Amino acid sequence: MFLSLRFLSAKLFLCICLTLFQHHVTFSASNPTGLTLRAVLDDSPNSPLYLIENMTIAERIERFIQVTNAKDNYLNLNARVGPDKSNSLSRVVMARDGLFYSVWLLIGSQGQEVKLLMDTGGGLTWTQCQPCLNCFPQNLPIYDSRASTTYFTLSCDHPLCQVEGSLYTCVDDLCIFVHNYHGGLYTTGVASLETFYFPMDPSTALTFNNLVFGCSRDSRNVVFQDTELSGIFGMNMMPDSLMSQLSSFTNFRFSYCLVPFPDLIPHTLVLRFGDDIPLLPPERVKTTMFVHAPDLYNYYVNLVTISFLNVRLGFPPSQFQLREDGLGGCFVDSGYLLTAIEDNYVGGVNAYDVLMDLFTAYYESNNLRRTTDPSGLDMCFERPNDFNNFANLTFHFDGEADFFVPPQHLHIFQQDHFCVAITRGRYATVLGAWQQQNKRMLYDVGLGRLQFADENCAND
């Protein structure tokens, strides 16, 4: 009951903020409850971060690990033009990095092209803007707010700028935002309103007017500089995220299905919203409820325990619970490549060390020898040609929602060795994208639940 009341409070907060947005936000569409965003793997020529031709497999994995560590640092801080060619689906072009989704859209009356990293752990959507005080280099032209007749600054009396202790503050009659990430990334600028266009085909675009976004004038230590990317596409449960702002269009629901990462063939990915989300087969779907707490807007779920090789481990009930200081807990994040297990001692137990000891004992009992990997992963072993008896894990979520991770999605395989694809979580446990491969993930924020089912994502 306590968790239900907390979720209702969070929902009420979102509803209040969205109601206050109504005089600002309008959109045009014939299908107000469905939206599909198409995606391609970033490691394909269609992506702005295409690097495969110049990178070995080991270098690719090392890049993934580096960005995963950056996400871990971040944890601790805080339409249409032309004829409608579809009566049921709206499709928007999108690219996806091995770790992040990269959304392609147009903004402003001039139709300025921008590409943003899609982050389910991020709130405010922001892009670099001219005039710029300190912008990082990007390969696309920087959006110029002065050239757009649909651009407006957010007034200081807007509800977002009235919340004490938030990332917004009023300075010289302008609502200023400041994102200061623990890992070093810093961006600040003017909270603004603008028209966003999501192209669906050469003659059709889904149009949303007066969306709140950040017009960044000063960004530093940005990991995606020198690409076509210019900012972040936020999809968490903050009232300023696009998931929240577009809720009347998406009905607070979105879904994705990740094709296997090791496949170098550029598969198409689809990020779906609202009624465009396919029905999950009742016999295979698992459901667990979100866990909500004040000032935390990631997709937390109640992780009860973990099974190693189908043997349930005896972690204490408090091991993966969200603590009063905002640390701990477990959340699901497609923007976090590898699953992270918190390595802090909770009740005298370090869950990360427990799991790594089990992997060590199991593989050493099979006469495998430890080795190192340039990615920096802790647990790697030499791989004999005739060995295929790899371990598996099951994450047991509340509601008897068992999330089984098969060996191919629990390890990273190199030519002569393999590594356990789990990292240390300094602040929380995170179920990452590597372990979500070939699963349909459905975030139903309106009903406060996460649903998932095994699926061949290549057919999505």
DSSP for 127-183 reads EEEES-SBPPP-SSPPEEGGG-TT-EEPPTTSGGGGSTTSSEEEETTEEEEEEE-TT
Peptide bond into 374 cis (omega under 30): no
Q: Residue 388's domain spans which residues?
A: 282-459
Q: By percentage, how much of the chain surpasses pLDDT 70?
A: 74
> Do 214 and 163 lie in a common domain?
yes
Residues 208-262 have pLDDT tens digits of 999 999 999 999 988 778 888 899 888 889 889 988 988 888 888 988 888 776 6
Pairing of strands 303-308, 268-274: unpaired
What tokens were used for 274? 């609202």
Q: CATH number for the domain including 151?
A: 2.40.70.10
Pairing of strands 94-96, 204-220: unpaired
Q: Is residue 322 part of a domain?
A: yes
Pairing of strands 174-180, 339-342: unpaired
Q: Is residue 272 part of a domain?
A: no
> Do 436 and 290 lie in a common domain?
yes
Last residue of a domain, one of 224, 249, 274: 249
pLDDT of residue 122: 80
Q: Given phi > 0 = left and psi -120 to 50 = alpha, else beta, which region is 382?
A: beta
Q: In whole angstroms, what is the distance from residue 446 CA to residue 249 CA?
A: 12
Q: Is residue 292 part of a domain?
A: yes
What tokens were used for 381? 């072993």
**122 phi, psi to nearest 5 deg:** -105, 155
> Do 366 and 451 lie in a common domain?
yes
Q: In whole angstroms, what is the distance from residue 435 CA to residue 338 CA?
A: 7
Q: By percentage, how much of the chain surpasses pLDDT 90?
A: 47
The model's confidence at residue 181, banded by pLDDT at 50, 70 and 90, is: low
CA–CA distance from 111 to each of 199, 228, 403, 441 (Å)?
A: 11, 16, 43, 32
> Do 313 and 434 lie in a common domain?
yes
- pLDDT of residue 150 exceeding 80, the answer is yes
Tell me the mean pLDDT in the region 165-172.
Answer: 88
pLDDT of residue 162: 86
How many C-alpha atoms does 31 have within 13 Å on its Cβ side? 18
> Do 230 and 309 lie in a common domain?
no
pLDDT of residue 268: 60
